[in-house]
Amino acid sequence: MITRMKLLFALLIVSLTLSSSLRPTFARGGQHAPLPSGFEYSSYVGSARHLFEENRSYISDEVAQGYMTNSDLEKAVKAFGQRCSNISRIYSIGKSVNGVPLWVIEISDKPGEEEAEPAFKYIGNVHGDEPVGRELLLFLANWICDNYLEDPLARTIVENVHLHILPSMNPDGFSLRRRGNANNVDLNRDFPDQFFLINEDADARQPETTAIMSWLREIHFTASASLHGGALVANYPWDGTLDKRRTYFRCPDDETFRFMASTYSRSHYNMSLSKEFKGGITNGAYWYPIYGGMQDWNYIHGGCFELTLEISDNKWPSANELPTLWEYNKMSMLNLVASLVKTGVHGRIFSSEGGRPLRGSITIKGINHTVKAGRTFADYHRLLAPGGRYEVMANVAGYKSRNTCIWLEEAAMTLDFVLDPEVTLNKGGSLPRSDCECDCGNTSKLEFVDFIWGSHLGVFVILIAVVGFLYLLLLRRRNINLSKHRHP
Ligand SMILES: *[C@@H]1O[C@H](CO)[C@@H](O)[C@H](O)[C@H]1NC(C)=O
Ligand SMILES: *[C@@H]1O[C@H](CO)[C@@H](O)[C@H](O)[C@H]1NC(C)=O
Ligand SMILES: [Zn+2]
């Protein structure tokens, strides 16, 4: 028995060393080192790739062949759920037009449980003819499952993030090998728009779009990314402009989004080396404006910082290129998720009375965007570009707001808030809302003077008299004590 255990243990060690030495290092941590000589994934998969390379514009049966069909994908998702049941949960957020379930894998050490942790979502295959993402997301899930015990990055994700993976948002489009869904609607144009009144009619919306929208109401995502093909770039909001012109159109969190997009492009094998896009990132509207996109809707209505990632020039490469594409994107996909806990400002909001969590919101001075705290734990996760001074304010209805100035470095910062309830002396009068700790504005002082000279003057005079009387009383006592001390 013992020798058999020893043998098993030795085998385990050998396989661990093998797997770690096989792990290529070229794409790690934002390094742009070229492929080491001799490292060629195509040698793993034989010479078949050359047969398919001619037929790129037309998706032939042969090209489609190496990809998982919708039922293969369902099997793969369920197999994953069984194999990695201790760190995952499988659920569906709805069905496509043709009734295919939209399966999601949630990865976390406590899947399905609410925790004071940020949630991230990856969505693949928004466009039916861009299937690389749906394959890479299965690679990602499996890689995390296989490595979270020894790899620090995978472990960070499992322990500190709830990662939700929807490999295919458009399974019908995939089986039809075309962009739109079964009704031939482009799902990335089907969301309500901030500039133009389109897609307002909820009944006319595609079921895939509706599923995503209700998903965001259910789960409070901090950030997300959808995976596309046809280019190599990390795209960030806004996607549209007011006047439909192609121009750089900044959203309030432009700096944070540039940081996020760069996290992806710099960790990628060669995205940041792009000649077309500086640093491998682009503002959506600057590239080409679109309306009704998922990305802007996420940021505005879901409070979720979403990127649109174009991960391969070829929309539908032959399947034997998938392992290479996975290696090119692996560190990016992991680093983007981990950046949710490795950067930014995080904390919880409590009441000063009894320490109850308060479901409020966080704003940053000068950035017109509100981040809500979580329902149960009142935890907030505010992504911000590092290397800046920020004034962070916590707001809860019925409580005095508080703000604090911070200098944010590369590393994440923890900042809890304890708020005092607003004291209402009588109806119509309340203490000033603003309770500055850093840049004390004059407004709050003025408000306070206003308050004193307002309807509460009478109460205030009585208070002063009482305090004065107590003070005199205290002075007398102290004098008696002092004299006692001098003359024992
Ligand atoms: C990245 O590498 C791939 C594969 O070698 C190549 O086809 C592509 O042109 C490269 N892109 C950039 C921007 O360097
Ligand atoms: C902040 O954004 C909202 C829309 O989200 C807009 O209505 C409002 O005018 C903006 N405020 C400022 C000060 O820009
Ligand atoms: Zn696309």
Beta carbon of 329 within 6 Å of any ligand 1 atom? no
Residue 426 has what pLDDT? 53
Report whether pLDDT(25) > 90. Answer: no
Report whether pLDDT(414) > 70. Answer: yes
Nearest residue by C-alpha to atom 9 in ligand 1: 313
Closest ligand to C-alpha of residue 309 is 3
Q: Which of 20-24, 195-199, 311-315, 333-337 comes out lowest in average pLDDT?
A: 20-24
Report whether pLDDT(240) > 80. Answer: yes
Closest ligand to C-alpha of residue 325 is 1
Q: From ligand 3's centre to the CA of 154, what distance in Å?
A: 27
Report whether pLDDT(10) > 80. Answer: no
Per-residue pLDDT tens for 275-327?
999 999 999 999 999 999 999 999 999 999 999 999 999 999 999 999 999 99
The CATH architecture to which 345-419 belongs is: Sandwich (2.60)
Nearest residue by C-alpha to atom 5 in ligand 1: 270
Nearest residue by C-alpha to atom 1 in ligand 1: 270
Per-residue pLDDT tens for 152-210?
999 999 999 999 999 999 999 999 999 999 999 999 999 999 998 899 899 999 999 99
- By annotation, the residues acting in catalysis are 310
Of 40, 232, 324, which is best to mutate to test ligand 1, by the most ligand atoms within 8 angstroms of its C-beta?
232
Of 268, 270, 325, which is best to mutate to test ligand 1, by the most ligand atoms within 8 angstroms of its C-beta?
270
Per-residue pLDDT tens for 435-486?
444 443 333 333 333 333 334 444 444 455 655 656 666 666 655 444 444 3
Residue 400 has what pLDDT? 97
Beta carbon of 274 within 6 Å of any ligand 1 atom? yes
What are the residue boundaries of the structural domains of the chain, listed by start?
Answer: 28-342, 345-419
Report whether pLDDT(409) > 60. Answer: yes
Residue 464 has what pLDDT? 54
Mean pLDDT over the full length of the chain = 83
- Domain at 28-342, CATH class: alpha beta
**Structure pTM?**
0.78
Split at pLDDT 50, 70, 90, the class of 21 is very low
Out of 10-14, 60-64, 428-432, 483-487, give the one with best mean pLDDT.
60-64
Q: Which of 23, 16, 145 is nearest to 77 (CA)?
A: 145
Report whether pLDDT(217) > 60. Answer: yes
Residue 60 has what pLDDT? 83
The percentage of the chain sitting over the pLDDT mark of 90, rounded to a whole number, equals: 72
